[in-house]
Amino acid sequence: MSRRKRLSAVATTALVAAFPLFPLVADAAPSPQAPATLISPNMRPTDSSNDVYDAETAFADFDVSLFEIPDGENAAFYRKRVADIQAEWSRCVLAYRERQREEARERGEKADDIDPGAVMLNAPLGKIAGGKESGGMSGAFVDAPADSVPARRAVALTDLYGRLANAAELPLEVRGKYYQNWLRAASAPLRDKSPQETREFYEKTLADEKAKSPLDLARVLYLSEQLAFLEAFSRPNEALLPTVARADVEKLLDVPEGESSEFYRKRNAELTSAYHSFARGPEKDEELAKRLDEALRTVDKLQSAALKTEAAAFDRDAVKRLLDVPPGESAAFYLERYQETEKVWKRVSQLSQRQEGRDLGRMEVRLRTEAIPEIHKRLAYADDLEPFERFQHLRTWLRSRDVAALRNALDAEIARDETSEVDALREPYVRWALLQKRVTTVATEARKALPEKERNSYGVNRFPSLAPEIQAELAALAAEIAERADDGALPWELGGSWSETAAGFASHIEREIHLDAAAPIYKEIYAALVDSDAETDQKVCRELKRKIGEAEFLGSTFEVPGLDLDGTPIDWKRFRGAPVLLTTGGDLRYYAPNADREFIPKCVEAGLQIVRYCNDLESARRLAQRDLEEQGNFRRRQAQGFPSLSAPTPIADYVVPLEGRGPGDWPSEHGIIWASFAVLFDADGRVLATYPRLLNKNNAPEIADELRKLFPDVPSTERE
């Protein structure tokens, strides 16, 4: 049996067993409600309107037969039905949008002012766009009538997602993605109801999953995490400011001394609420606002003093006792110790900020990095704990461990007897965690060796000289990541696969170091997956091929096939001798670093050549004419003495695809996304870099860095 089949056998068995489809929340008819008022395309919603756009008009010719879902069909049939429903929905929505725009133009309005179709396209299941002109359309959704196309679409898709989530012929990772879609669709009707109803839905779904045998670990973990999030989100927020009446303000202004820090924390919240009420708004009282501000300053001082006093009096011995986690105890003992330790840790963390000295700070670090992880480790190997609970504690413990500790954990798992289907997944999980830690560690070490100015969260501009040990680790990682890439699904991650994860590891190397460092890993993963017939693997291979093409494109001498403005093949030899920026960008000022919109024009003055890549000759000629007009207008305004914030985009050369080739043909062949790209060539025609179109002060303007390197005398603003 192959590794792929062996490692996912248990998790696959969990879904092969026949069981009824999920109880679909959306199958039930929506609760009775008054039919929504529909307005015609010619009507504009007002600020007070709760109307919705004319869904009947938008979906008048929708093929409603697609909503009849027959039983007993295979997964391919149901997947095609999903695609057909979505395609029909998009067709109707886009056609409706165009009708709305045309009618807007006939009324003399801007076509973009009315765009309900775009919002309707992205509406939650079973909802359609509502009307709020002043606040725009964003998020203004209302429940669709039960017999409307949007509502029926919601029911049909929920049904289809449920069927596909349980289709045994689909790979486990694909079923996992459909299960996530089903959860979103089935829980959508609960979003406008109480948080308790939503929690009850997830609790019941989780209980149903836990009752199945064998257990589907990925589903149970995903549902547990979603439920934990819901519980935390719906828990009363202590930070919310209490409501304070004017009659009670005078009592709050009298702040007593000698109280606890908790007393002052609550008083601070009350005073802050009163300040917001009386420092602005209809009840504004400037004199009272000043008194409240002074009281808040007093409370801050008293709370700080109280925390210092409490820190000095804190029982350090209680913390020292918790730092020692004894072995050989029961799971119940460790669970109780965890609750106690976490409570003390939070208190120590609070007090350590106001203490005299650093002993509490050191205790806080030890509690967080030693005691609590040690408890999770004990629980991860507690035989008297349920396998699923052990797995959860194993995950938590491994998150805080270094490479050496993870290697030891892997050895322990290899030597450990598998006592359940969940325990069988512990070893591959530790392998995954070890690979992840090694990837992040080697990336961190590589970045540390770079000059500080070359470090940024988007990778470095040039491939760095890596230390031999880092190069060796990257080579070892490439081999091991590629070896794991074809292991199928990640049974602990709903909808995840080893192939996607392997590509993600390589992407991290690319982001943190350079594409050249990640390229060998991309190539090894591609070689491991290229013969696979799994659809997820093939999807990953397509992206890997693009990345490999991009890596090979860098440094190559490449002449873009295309036509000049006069329709003749463009002669790239005339551009030799100076760098060229080839771009689809409409406004080249987007490439300027920070707020210096003059950077590109100054680089053009220094010798940079701009070539724009357009869809067709008509577009190129229209753009060229517009640029000429902008330049002429700018010069006239200068001659007349009118100020101007910045010069227009420099006049550029233009290139369009050869006949028979689409605009995205050559970019896609070299790993470049056509819709938005820029390629910087050096004076000899070699590719220096490929970059996204929009660069700003927050995302490391590599193009500007390359141009500064080429034209060091060009002035520019300092980077933030």
How does pLDDT run across 493-502, given as a tens digit for each residue? Answer: 999 999 999 9
What Å distances lie between residue 67 and 91, 150, 201, 702, CA to CA?
A: 16, 11, 25, 50
Angle, CA 328 vertex, CA 323 and CA 331 arms, to 5°: 85
What pLDDT is attached to residue 605? 72
For residue 382, give both structure tokens. 């507690």
Query: What is the SS3 assignment for 316?
Result: helix
- Mean pLDDT, range 428-448, rounded to an integer: 93
For residue 667, cis peptide bond before it (omega within 30 degrees of 0): no
Give me the pLDDT at residue 587, please. 58
pLDDT(355) > 80: no
Mean pLDDT score across all residues of the chain? 80
CB 340 within 8 A of CB 322: yes
Length of the chain: 720
Torsion sign, CA atoms 298, 301, 307, 308 = negative
pLDDT of residue 132: 44
User: Is pLDDT at 619 greater than 70 in this prediction?
Assistant: yes
Q: Residue 72: left if φ>0, alpha if ψ -120 to 50, beta else—which one?
A: left
Q: How confident is the model at residue 3 (pLDDT cuts 50, 70, 90)?
A: very low
Tokens of 620: 């190129």
Q: What is the pLDDT of residue 592?
A: 52
Residue 663 has pLDDT above 60, yes or no: yes
pLDDT at residue 307 in the model: 92
Helix (H, G, I), strand (E, B) or coil at 25: helix
Point out the least confidently predicted range of 134-143, 388-397, 574-583, 675-684.
134-143
- Per DSSP bridges, beta strands 678-681 and 580-583 are antiparallel
The answer to whether residue 703 scores a pLDDT higher than 90 is no
- The C-alpha angle with vertex 247 and arms to 244 and 253, in degrees rounded to 5, equals 75
Whole-angstrom CA distances from 642 to 599, 626, 638, 646, 647 are 21, 21, 6, 12, 12
Place of tokens 């096939």: 561
- Note the pLDDT of residue 596: 55
Give the mean pLDDT of 374-381.
96
Where does 391-545 show beta strands of DSSP type E?
Answer: none
**What is the per-residue pLDDT across 123-156, written as a single tens digit (0 to 9) for each?**
677 777 665 443 444 446 777 888 889 899 999 9
In the DSSP assignment, the letter for residue 486 is T
Rounded to an integer, the average pLDDT of 420-449 is 93
Convert the pLDDT of each residue in 202-253 to its tens digit: 999 999 999 998 889 999 999 999 998 888 776 655 556 677 788 888 888 9
- Asked if the model's pLDDT at residue 171 lies above 80, the reply is yes
**Which H or E run includes 30?**
none
Residue pair 294/277 in contact (Cβ under 8 Å)? The answer is: no
Phi, psi of 24 (to 5 degrees): -80, 115
Mean pLDDT of 348-357: 84
pLDDT band at 664 (very low <50, low <70, confident <90, very high): confident
Beta bridge mates, 489: 497
Contacts of 207 (CB under 8 A, 6+ apart): none
pLDDT at 41: 35
| Amino acid identity at 218 | A
Q: Which one-letter DSSP state was computed for residue 570? A: P
Q: What is the pLDDT of residues 252-305, one digit of tens each?
A: 898 999 999 999 999 998 898 888 888 776 778 888 889 999 999 999 999 999
Whole-angstrom distance, CA of residue 491 vs CA of residue 23: 24
Pick from 685, 684, 460, 705: which is nearest to 603 by CA?
705
Q: Given a cut of 50, is residue 542 above it in pLDDT?
A: yes
pLDDT at 77 over 90: yes
User: pLDDT at position 165, please?
Assistant: 96
The predicted model gives 700-706 an average pLDDT of: 51
Query: pTM for the whole thing?
Result: 0.76
Give 518's contacts (C-beta < 8 A, 6+ positions apart): 506, 507, 509, 510, 547, 551
Q: What is the token pair recorded at 168?
A: 């045994």
The DSSP bridge partners found for residue 679 are 582, 690
The pLDDT confidence band at residue 511, using thresholds 50, 70 and 90, is confident
The closest of 11, 2, 15 to 426, measured between CA atoms, is 11
Q: Is the Cβ–Cβ distance between 656 and 614 less than 8 Å?
A: yes
CA quadruple 495, 500, 506, 511: dihedral positive or negative?
Answer: negative
The pLDDT value given to residue 15: 33
Mean pLDDT of the region 174-180 = 96
Mean pLDDT confidence for 80-88 = 95
Check if the beta carbon of residue 169 is closer than 8 Å to that of residue 487.
no
Calculate what percentage of the chain has a pLDDT beyond 70: 77
Q: Is residue 330 scored above 80 in pLDDT?
A: yes
pLDDT digits (tens, 9 = 90+) for 546-589: 889 888 888 888 888 889 988 899 888 888 888 888 887 655 65
Q: 10 Å Cβ neighbour count for 138?
A: 10
